[in-house]
Structure 1
Amino acid sequence: MYQYDQHDRTLVAERVRQFANQTERYLAGELSEEQFLPLRLQNGLYVQRHAPMLRIAVPYGMISARQLRKIADITETYDKGYAHLTTRQNIQLNWPALEQVPDILAELACVEMHAIQTSGNCIRNTTTDQFAGVAEDEIEDPRPWCEIIRQWSTFHPEFAFLPRKFKIAVNGAKEDRAAIQAHDIGLELVRSAKGELGFRVLVGGGLGRTPMLGTEITPFLPWQHLLTYLDAILRTYNRFGRRDNKYKARIKILVKALGIEAFRQRVHDEWENLKDGPGTLNEQALDQVSRHFIDPDYESQPISPANIDQQHADDKAFNHWVTRNVSGHKRAGYAAVTLSLKSTAYAPGDISTEQLRIAADLSETYSFGELRISHQQNLILPDVQKASLYALWQALRDAGFATPNLGLLTDVICCPGGDYCALANAKSLPVAEAIQRRFDDIDYLHDLGDLELNISGCMNACGHHHIGNIGILGVDKKGEEYYQIQIGGASGNNASLGKIIGPSFSRHDVPDVLERLLSVYVEQRIEGETFIATSRRIGIEPFKERAYAKKNH
């Protein structure tokens, strides 16, 4: 993974000292709330329902065992003994004391971490596939490109105060696991007919109050022009994006208002003045970053797990876990393993101090000391020898990481909701727990197969409910919490936005409604058909009729 140079260390250390002084002045009454607001946002600090929330940057989801142990120490010293993994591959602390935040940032700086640009109207953390660098279907490793974008965007003087927050995702595999169509800019690494490397560029995607999927602005951008083209897009947005209404300030609104052809022309006009300038990349610049992402010391002939078939036959629980939580790997004899953070009765994405330390230890024992954070709010060990899977599974089971539900109904993506967030209209976590408790039969879950359930507590869509196969949105109805249900959303190559099935339901009714929706799928599916495929084939009406049948009766 990328290692800080002296410039990086100096920059982060100076930012820590600067924010410590700003916080001291605010607490002394020398800075008003209004003056302190942009300063704290620039350092990832929000004011939530009960306490400040600090969002820690984890660039493109990569984190080391050393860094994870530091997070554990921080949660033990400054928080309530746990951290939260986000859908944008970052880490959040939900209970830090404001006066201790500068101390937390200083601790993070010791292990090359920070909270810079995790909030505010700037370019946020660039995200990618959690299996980047090891995926079997990878065309090109996206991590060096994410790092190039990170270096370009951090403290970019022209884009520090954009009309609204800005998110970029990069995908380097045949299957899009980075949800690039749901981002302000989506970048897909592709090769031309001549084998030349470049990017297919999408623009104007995003969820929230007005969900939209990105539109292709160019099918092939030579890699040398990546930064100049991003500059051109951001300059166009910064110049023409609305600032009078925050609900209409995202780039997706500008793209829709202008139309993609007019927007493309404005970007092209801007790019003409940039594309052969100093921002143009060359082989030396690419090599300088790429050397940080070389393969670990894989064994050329890893030990063959001769008894793994017998282990599958003898242990049904292990077999379930391998089926769902173990993914293929580009290197023979290795696998990528997902550590589930979706056990019933625990908030999706929450990880305790003890679990953080155990995960760090296991990464050093089994995966070269490296981990990843996924969009699904789980942890990944990317480089595990298949011969070690059974021993690893036993250790994960003891630590509460072995729930065999990756990609299944109870692998819920869920925002913190009204339990923490001041913006939320309704609570999300109790709904997620009620669903997990209702559908706790692992054989039934495996029979249902791949099914993405996403829950958001408000229209900001931090739980990405628009692109869940089933999406649940908390809404306020005259001071009471209700839940709107959508069907048919999806991320990936064939992304789509869900459609609302009708009026909202009470929290108590949600598990029953979900059971009725699933019964339609079980009755209507054809062999081998996933939930999303069935819903696209039969449409929304059969689900709608079943969902409201009891209510109407």
Structure 2
Amino acid sequence: MYQYTEFDKQFVRNRAAQYRDQLERNLAGKLGDDEFRPLRLQNGWYVQRYAPMLRIAVPYGEISSRQLRVLAKIARDYDQPTTQLLRSAQAKQDELGPVPLPNGGSVRSVLTVGYGHFTTRQNVQFNWIPLAKSADVMDLLASVDMHGIQTSGNTIRNITSDERAGIAVDEIADPRPYCEIIRQWSALHPEFAFLPRKFKIAVTGASEDRAATYWHDVGLHVVRNDAGALGFRVIVGGGMGRTPIIGTVVREFLAWDQILNYLEAVVRVYNRWGRRDNMYKARIKILVKAEGQRYIDEVEAEYRQIVEIDGAPHTIPQAELDRVAASFVPPELHAPRTGAEAKVHEIVRADAEADPQYDRWLQQNVAAHRNPKLRAVTLSFKRLGQAPGDATGEQLDVAADLAERFSAGEARVTHDQNLLLPWVHQDDLPELWNAARKAGLAKANIHLLTDMIACPGGDFCSLANARSLPIAEAITLRYQDLDELHDIGEIDLHISGCINSCGHHHSGHIGILGVDKDGKEWYQVTLGGSDGSLLSGASTPGKVVGPSFSAAEVPEVIEAVLDTYRQQRQLVDGKAETFIATLRRVGIEPFKAAANAARFTEKQVA
């Protein structure tokens, strides 16, 4: 992991102290709410439907056990709303009512407290911290080199990457040093503090795009040219929201040391010409789509100006790359076990190998590593009774313990709202499985249906049109049989509570979007989306299958779509075809017909 310098540490501490002064003046009535609002947003403090929401930056998803323990403390000691706030939230839920199920049951969102939430952009959020205690939380974060700087506002946001960065078997080069250099360049960049809209950058160093780069404002792929030189393929103008657009390749190859100069040109042209009169048309994707080649030409002209006239001021020296890269060396492997420790290990290993659930866990939750002695292991934070991506204080502490014991004190927040342990010795897998299972973090559902992505939706977000969490719970409740989940196979299900697409519904093989119809919650279903992974293929938005469905109909629709898949799938080399492969082979119409046939009649609704 990158090690903060003394300058970095002092910078974050000073920012926390500055925020405390601003908060105290606001609470004393000396700084108005309107003046305070942009100041708190610059530090990741939103005010949502019921309470403040804090978004904490986790650059490229990399997080230490020490940092996880501080997050656990925040969950236990600070994520505690007042009784009045909880009553207000409960009253809103009572007004909306539970989501009815076809069998006569119902599902209600559980408004839990004392937890963190892993996001699709590798951040961590808290939803119930009183604003009066926010400065105390900032100080706690600063003590472990964490903060919320540029997790909000029209700035360059958290730099994201492949959660297997530095360990993937298909990696061309480790992208983390470049992510860190870009993070430092973009932090409080004076020219880009007030862009037309928020700006997101994703970087991958692997041949498989596990960072969904084509869906970002800028996506960077580490590549080598014909001469073997290292550089980047540069993609600009991707995004979701109201207008889902796949990014455009503007440079097939850019030398690695020029990436900051080129990013300066990309963002500068956007800052100059991006729409500021309409927030729905202000993202760079709209500019790139509208201007096409003209935008690319302007970027190239700006880049030439930066290099030839300005002297390429942001060229990355080899010495700086080496300095940053020195923080990302692999940890040392533990020594072989001896004596009593070895005997205990053999007992645990034998017990694990006798359990069929262990084999499933190895299949779904454990991935290959560039070091053949190691494995990458995903801890599942998707289970019944808990919103996707939520982690209680106790679970965060357990995750910290597991990271220390099995992964050199390091974990990664994943794009799919889980935690990955990147440095697990193959010989430690039985003990890790046993420990994670006791903590409820070893469910063998990674990349399966219940490993869904979901935003907090209308239960917390003031922008949402509908709730996401009870829909996620209803689907999870229906698909608890691991045999059935494994039979369905790998599939991406994504749920968003509104068109802003924080749940990435556009890129789901099955996407669910909450919409408002006459003040009531309804849901659109899309099929065939892709985030660019090896399973999904080239990035593409899903297609709507018909008019929106009621909350009660959504589980029926999902079941009808999956039944159609099982009827239509074929065997390929003795293995069942995946959902997305079947959908692309037979087309959307059979699935669309099945989904619409699952719609309730008026009599059923009554």
Give me the TM-score of the superposition, normalised by structure 2: 0.89
Partner of 1:207: 240
C-alpha deviations, 1:364-412, integer Å up to 9, x for none? 1111000110010001111111111111111111101011100000001
Residues 552 and 15 from structure 1, CA distance in 2 versus in 1: closer, same or farther, beyond 3 angstroms?
closer
**Separation in 1 of the partners of 2:170 and 2:336?**
21
C-alpha deviations, 1:51-73, integer Å up to 9, x for none? 00000111110010111111111
Which stretch of structure 1 is more off in the superposition, 223-232 or 304-313? Answer: 304-313
Residues 299 and 10 from structure 1, CA distance in 2 versus in 1: closer, same or farther, beyond 3 angstroms?
closer
Which stretch of structure 1 is more off in the superposition, 9-18 or 352-361? Answer: 9-18
In the alignment, structure 2 segments of 5+ residues that lack a partner are 80-112, 602-606
C-alpha deviations, 1:458-514, integer Å up to 9, x for none? 011000000000000001110110110000001125111100001111111111110
> Is the 8 Å Cα contact of residues 302 and 385 (structure 1) preserved in structure 2?
no
1:417 aligns with 2:417: no
1:438 aligns with 2:478: yes
- Letter of the 1:295 partner, please give it: P
2:569 to 525, 530, 549: 525
Residues 308 and 247 from structure 1, CA distance in 2 versus in 1: closer, same or farther, beyond 3 angstroms?
same
**Separation in 2 of the partners of 1:316 and 1:322?**
10
Partner of 2:205: 172
TM-aligned CA deviation for residue 24 of structure 1: 1.6
> Is the 8 Å Cα contact of residues 190 and 197 (structure 1) preserved in structure 2?
yes
**Separation in 1 of the partners of 2:348 and 2:273?**
59
1:238 to 255, 267, 271: 271
- Letter of the 2:58 partner, please give it: V
**Secondary structure in 1 aligned to 2:395?**
helix
> Is the 8 Å Cα contact of residues 261 and 306 (structure 2) preserved in structure 1?
yes
2:373 to 322, 328, 333: 333
Structure 1: which 4+ aligned runs deviate by more than 3 Å?
299-313, 550-553
**Separation in 2 of the partners of 1:287 and 1:550?**
58
1:263 aligns with 2:311: no
**Secondary structure in 1 aligned to 2:306?**
coil
Partner of 1:496: 540
1:547 aligns with 2:595: yes
2:438 to 398, 403, 407: 398
What's the Cα RMSD here?
A: 1.7
**Separation in 2 of the partners of 1:414 and 1:118?**
19
TM-aligned CA deviation for residue 552 of structure 1: 8.3
What is the number of equivalent residue pairs in this alignment? 552
- Letter of the 1:264 partner, please give it: I
TM-aligned CA deviation for residue 103 of structure 1: 1.0
Give me the TM-score of the superposition, normalised by structure 1: 0.97
> Is the 8 Å Cα contact of residues 302 and 333 (structure 1) preserved in structure 2?
no
Residues 229 and 550 from structure 1, CA distance in 2 versus in 1: closer, same or farther, beyond 3 angstroms?
closer
**Separation in 2 of the partners of 1:392 and 1:309?**
10
**Separation in 1 of the partners of 2:8 and 2:66?**
18
> Is the 8 Å Cα contact of residues 44 and 150 (structure 2) preserved in structure 1?
yes
Which stretch of structure 1 is more off in the superposition, 382-391 or 292-301? Answer: 292-301
1:362 aligns with 2:393: no
C-alpha deviations, 1:61-116, integer Å up to 9, x for none? 00101111111111111113211111100110111111111110011101111110
**Separation in 1 of the partners of 2:353 and 2:337?**
23
Residues 175 and 345 from structure 1, CA distance in 2 versus in 1: closer, same or farther, beyond 3 angstroms?
same
Residues 545 and 326 from structure 1, CA distance in 2 versus in 1: closer, same or farther, beyond 3 angstroms?
same
> Is the 8 Å Cα contact of residues 348 and 431 (structure 2) preserved in structure 1?
no
**Separation in 2 of the partners of 1:85 and 1:195?**
37
1:383 aligns with 2:423: yes
- Letter of the 1:249 partner, please give it: A
- Letter of the 2:325 partner, please give it: S
**Separation in 1 of the partners of 2:209 and 2:406?**
27
**Separation in 1 of the partners of 2:313 and 2:525?**
49
> Is the 8 Å Cα contact of residues 311 and 318 (structure 1) preserved in structure 2?
no
**What does residue range 41-80 of structure 1 map to in structure 2 within 5 Å?**
41-79=41-79, 80=113
Between the two proteins, what is the percent identity of the paired residues? Answer: 55
**What does residue range 67-216 of structure 1 map to in structure 2 within 5 Å?**
67-79=67-79, 80-216=113-249
Which stretch of structure 1 is more off in the superposition, 275-284 or 448-457? Answer: 275-284
Partner of 1:34: 34
**Separation in 2 of the partners of 1:302 and 1:496?**
49
In the alignment, structure 1 segments of 5+ residues that lack a partner are none
- Letter of the 1:541 partner, please give it: E
**Secondary structure in 1 aligned to 2:463?**
coil
Partner of 2:560: 516
